[in-house]
Amino acid sequence: MRIGMTCYPSAGGSGVVATELGRQLERRGHVIHFISYDQPFRLHDFTRNVSYHQVEVPTYPLFKYPPYLLALANKMAEVALYEQLDILHVHYAIPHAASAYLARQMLASRNKGRARRLRFVTTLHGTDITLVGSEPSFSEMVAFTINQSDGVTAVSESLRLETMETFSLTREIVTIPNFIDPDEYRREASPEDRRALADDDEKLILHVSNFRPVKRVDAVVQIFARVAREIKARLLMVGDGPDLPLARREAERLGVADRVTFLGQQEEVAGLFSVADLLLLPSEKESFGLVALEAMACGVPVIASRVGGLPEVVGDKQAGFLYPPERVDRMAKKAAQLLRDESKHRKAAIAARRRAIGQFSASRIVPQYEEFYRRVLARPPEV
């Protein structure tokens, strides 16, 4: 198949998944065309059957805000026509599905409707429903673009159900979870890598996020501070965002600033997971929890909130441990217990890797997308 792929190119779960999906599909013999305002941040090396098409957004004085939705729709139509795309896969409902709908309508009117109808699939990743979709100014548009998609997927059953409850929909939503490449995400760090971040007698606790309020980075520091009273440990905070100053202030307030390292945004995180002993993810919401899956694949047990899609990813009491978001005391207690008991930690680490590979390996999930594309393409086009 010749597949168009549109996502936000910056760091974030939807962009990571879309880029990795495109790379995996190319390995399975498909031709992939990425369409976005910038090259996806994980799309590095040249690959013969993967192309990137940049969306140029006009900045005329007439436009108070750059019309990205329209520019993207125009580029989608252009690429679909000249590259003879079989299907377009957009990640995030707004604005990507809206642009895909416009592109489809543009091509349908070309040559008085004789052009082949462009089919597009929308994958919902979470904040397009839980944040953007909850805005009254966008809710009708979100519902419209979902209903106009030729196929819709959600990254977790929790998100699928929430979407169905939030909007009035006529379109079926299929759950296809996120995935990892077990060859890329595995534990293979050298002792030197570890010593660069922590002393030999320190346990290394990790948090990776976009540092937005929903990630509760202050709670991460609070959990660590409780653990650090009992165990010699260091907290590694990876990422950037509006709540970074909050995390720094909380570390100062709790007297653990000297044991918290802020690494900022990192493109390659598999190596960091490989040196970590534990991942903390006390989020208020997580539609899937890709960082938890990546950590588990590297043999890192997870302590997280029992919210959204995290129970589907982590399970409970084997690969990781889930608690109500507000129970930082219970999260801290379990973290300290796990880090003190090498036998229990080792069993949890093995279970984490086993669950990640068994349930969420690319070889298991990517064929589900292929089959979904085929089903969409096999259906007669709707009027």
Per-residue pLDDT at 232 exceeds 60: yes
Range of the domain at 160: 2-179+362-378
Asked if residue 81 and residue 170 are part of one domain, the reply reads yes
**Structural domain includes residue 142:** yes
Asked if residue 213 and residue 145 are part of one domain, the reply reads no
**Structural domain includes residue 237:** yes
Provide the residue type at 55 as one letter. V
> What is the pLDDT averaged over residues 90-103?
92
132 — pLDDT class (breaks 50, 70, 90):
low
Asked if residue 149 and residue 202 are part of one domain, the reply reads no
Q: 209-225 in b/e burial notation, b at 16+ Cβ within 10 A?
A: bbbbebbbbbbbbbbbb
Asked if residue 212 and residue 119 are part of one domain, the reply reads no
Asked if residue 88 and residue 174 are part of one domain, the reply reads yes
Asked if residue 206 and residue 152 are part of one domain, the reply reads no
**Structural domain includes residue 206:** yes
Q: pTM, whole model, 2 decimals?
A: 0.91
CATH number at residue 374: 3.40.50.2000
Asked if residue 251 and residue 231 are part of one domain, the reply reads yes
Question: For the chain, where are the alpha helices, taking DSSP H only?
Answer: 13-27, 68-82, 98-109, 127-130, 136-148, 157-166, 191-195, 217-228, 244-253, 270-273, 290-297, 310-314, 328-340, 342-360, 362-378
The percentage of residues in the chain with a pLDDT greater than 70, rounded to a whole number, is 93
Q: What is the pLDDT of residues 278-303, one digit of tens each?
A: 999 999 999 999 999 999 999 999 99
Question: Which three-class secondary structure state does DSSP give residue 168?
Answer: coil
Number of structural domains in the chain:
2
**Structural domain includes residue 383:** no
Provide the residue type at 267 as one letter. E
Asked if residue 299 and residue 336 are part of one domain, the reply reads yes
**Structural domain includes residue 367:** yes
Asked if residue 171 and residue 277 are part of one domain, the reply reads no
Asked if residue 198 and residue 136 are part of one domain, the reply reads no
Asked if residue 314 and residue 209 are part of one domain, the reply reads yes
Asked if residue 282 and residue 240 are part of one domain, the reply reads yes
